[in-house]
Structure 1
């Protein structure tokens, strides 16, 4: 029988580049976070989470804005902000650790060009 996999879900807070780079350097992994990247960590003030900074391939999304003032019409689709680029080694699920994401909006034109 295979191992059941579950999506990891939680809220994150975006961080400034400097503390993100400093944390990686303190942990023996000096990195440079470019303008094409986002840095975020778990936001524990808003309930339970099972996200882990080592989960490469994960996504960072924002809920869409309401489509109108009518709640019956709901919200626009979720908006992709980032894809996990790198984090800490497996087993490091400390919510205070930063995860670095590729900033997808910076590649939107390139992605759409490939889809044509």
Structure 2
């Protein structure tokens, strides 16, 4: 896709109103992973290089990239938060940003729930999160959004307060569709690109 046809909007909450705190950014370059395979959903990750730097405000903040070393801190959450404007349970696209809290599940649990789908959709560069037969999850329109987890910092000496950092653990990739249409089936787990598996690639692109 040509970068000049894309626009990134930061800090937006309601798509139906003009929000003065949002930032509209032009895209200079689209970087698609060289091993991306649509049919196998492998290496389903891309980067957008903005034409100018974003301004960090109370509405626009960065998140850390999830790396294996985060686990050593012993407080990595098994729950992730996904925000987006994808289809809701009424099959409509909401105007306001929605969010959902999803547990990360094992590959074995995911595959056993729907072998015909996850045996192809789930690979070494992805993981599953969500619920089975719950009706809660991500859907069409959420793809490309981040699943972020909060990792608390160590308690500051004498303060008794605990703060933390948000990490992008995964990227919304795909989910089984409903039998009679192409929209997602909310009773199945969703598949996320595992950011940890691609940090070397991301670092390489950032340094290029």
1:14-93 map, 5 Å: 14-22=104-112, 23=114, 25=116, 31-42=120-131, 51-54=137-140, 55-69=142-156, 70=159, 74-75=163-164, 77-89=165-177, 91-92=183-184
Whose relative contact order is higher, 1 or 2, with alpha carbons under 8 Å and at least 6 apart?
1
1:18 Cα shift?
3.0
Larger % of helix: which?
1
What is the aligned residue count?
108
TM-score normalised by length of structure 1: 0.68
Q: Is the 1:84–1:100 Cα contact (8 Å) retained in structure 2?
A: yes
Q: Could you say what secondary structure the match of 2:192 adopts?
A: strand
Please list every run of 5 or more consecutive structure 1 residues that lacks an aligned counterpart in the other structure.
44-48
* Residue among 97, 101, 125 paired with 1:11: 101
What is the CA deviation profile of residues 22-77 of structure 1, one whole-angstrom value per residue up to 9, with x for unaligned ones?
A: 4262xx6752422211101149xxxxx964344322211111322543356732x3
Q: Whose Rg is larger?
A: 2
Q: CA RMSD in A?
A: 3.3
- Moved runs in structure 1, 4+ residues, more than 6 A? none
Q: 1:53 to 1:71 in 2, by over 3 A?
A: farther
Select which of 87, 93, 97 maps to 2:188: 97
User: Measured at CA, do residues 71 and 29 of structure 1 come closer, stay the same or move farther in structure 2, by a change above 3 Å?
Assistant: same
Is the contact between residue 169 and residue 194 of structure 2 (CA under 8 Å) also seen in structure 1? Answer: yes
Structure 2 length-normalised TM: 0.42
